[in-house]
Amino acid sequence: MPVFVNNVEISDDDVHTEMQHHQAATMEEARGDAARALVVKHLLLEAAVDQEFTSAEKLEGLDNESEERIIEGLIDSIIKVPDADDETCQRHYDKFQQSFVDQKTGELLPYDMVKNHIKTYLEDMGHMAALRAYIDSLMDKAQIVGLV
């Protein structure tokens, strides 16, 4: 059964081709994951057109790599996450000290040794949360039929 996003069909063939990138316990689950991935991709490409990163005409016939570059540009322009400052990193370190124990010695690693790791982790988590919220907002506004 095909999926429709804002009256645009995502064919069964497209979903089956995408399934190879989605490992799951069952074929039905893999199909659902693949269909959702294609819906998200379609919505992001629609948003790229709305934000004038490209035109609908230019999207026709683009390869996956070119589409991915357009989506990355859109995400980079939309998703802005503040840098994790030292105070925030220190609070994370203090709250989750068990995560910073040396596996061999059982000793707590010093904050200065792990603060860059914490900073990267917090910023990545913020970016992912913002991206999920953006995708959720796109899905809330979209008309999606056939997605289970």
**For residue 2, what pLDDT is reported?**
86
CATH number of residue 23's parent domain? 1.10.4030.10
Question: Considering Cα of 55, then 59, then 62, then 67, what sign does the dihedral take?
Answer: positive
| pLDDT confidence of residue 22 | 95
Tally of residues, the chain: 148
- Burial classification of residue 39, based on how many CB atoms lie within 10 Å of its CB (0-12 exposed, 13-18 middle, 19 or more buried): buried
The reported pLDDT for the residue numbered 148 is: 77
* Band of pLDDT at residue 4, cut at 50, 70 and 90: very high
H-run or E-run covering 52: none
Q: How confident is the model at residue 61 (pLDDT cuts 50, 70, 90)?
A: confident
Look at residue 46 and tell me whether its pLDDT is greater than 80: yes
d(C-alpha 120, C-alpha 98), whole Å = 18
Range of the domain at 37: 3-145
Q: What is the pLDDT of residues 128-139, one digit of tens each?
A: 999 999 999 999
pLDDT in tens, 13-34: 999 999 999 999 999 999 999 9
Q: What number of other Cβ atoms are within 10 A of residue 4's Cβ? A: 16
The number of folded domains in the chain is 1
DSSP-derived secondary structure for 77-130 = HH---PPPPHHHHHHHHHHTGGGGB-TTT-PBPPHHHHHHHHHHHHHHHHHHHH
* pLDDT for res 1: 79
Query: Do 39 and 139 meet the contact criterion of CB atoms below 8 Å apart?
Result: yes
Least confident of 49-58, 92-101, 105-114: 49-58
Beta strands 8-10 and 3-5, pairing class: antiparallel
Distance CA 62, CA 15 (A): 18
Higher per-residue confidence, 53 vs 124: 124
Select from 82, 104, 100 the least CA-distant residue to 92: 100
Mean pLDDT taken over the chain:
95
Percent of the chain with pLDDT over 90: 94
Query: Residue 55 is encoded by which pair of tokens?
Result: 């035109």
